Amino acid sequence: MTIDEIIENFSFLEDWEDRYRYVIELGRLLEPLPPELKTDDNKVHGCASQVWLATSMKYHDRGEPSLTIRGDSDAHIVRGLVAILLSLCSGKTASEILKADPAALFVQLGLQEHLTPQRSNGFRSMVARIQAEAKGALASANVLSS
């Protein structure tokens, strides 16, 4: 599901309980991460529940790296948050990922005010991890093109 579809669907849901159920449903639709990718290297630290993000990179003809990100969590609501974040970032170029504003998206969706402090911290940890991967991909691309 695209991030635009998710935003549109959220706009139809006025009640927080309906939004909460929708986030959980997005998590259920997320393809499970294979056990071999649930490694310590892929684990996101700073999350109360277990979260894994596995990133692969490919280069376009013009040398810009794009990142495909897969993720999973052992908590239903967090798995839904992962799904939203991946809809925003996965498949994008590293530059696009660094220009994206996941925090603004979560405010727009009304999630910021309904997340516990632990989940908010976990969300920030996931965003930081994805941004670090994007910065690393750009640095790698600059080294390769030098």
Place of tokens 């600059």: 142
Cα 105 to chain centroid, rounded: 11
* Predicted confidence (pLDDT) per residue in 13-52, tens digit: 989 899 999 999 999 999 999 999 999 999 999 878 999 9
pLDDT at 146 over 50: no
> Taking the domain 3-145, which CATH number applies?
3.90.1010.10
For range 7-11, the mean pLDDT = 95
Cα 59 to chain centroid, rounded: 20
The CA distance from 47 to 117, in Å, is: 11
Instruction: Examine the residue annotation and report whether 47 is marked as an active-site residue of this protein.
Output: yes
**Contact of 102 with 128, CB cutoff 8 Å:** no
Q: Which two tokens stand for residue 128?
A: 């930081």
pLDDT band at 104 (very low <50, low <70, confident <90, very high): very high
The count of residues in the chain is 146
Q: What is the pTM of this model?
A: 0.92
Q: Which two tokens stand for residue 46?
A: 């700073």
Residue 23 has, within 13 A of its CA and on its CB side, a CA count of 23
- How much is the pLDDT for 141? 73
- The helix (run of H) or strand (run of E) holding residue 65 is strand 65-73
Kindly name the residue from 23, 47, 67, 82 that is annotated as catalytic. 47
Cβ count within 10 A of residue 91? 13
pLDDT at 61 over 90: no
* Predicted confidence (pLDDT) per residue in 106-129, tens digit: 989 988 888 888 888 889 999 999
Backbone angles phi, psi at 66, to 5 degrees: -115, 150
Q: Evaluate the CA torsion angle 128, 131, 22, 74 in order and state its sign.
A: negative
The CA distance from 136 to 67, in Å, is: 11
Residue of higher predicted confidence among 118 and 87: 87
pLDDT band at 140 (very low <50, low <70, confident <90, very high): confident
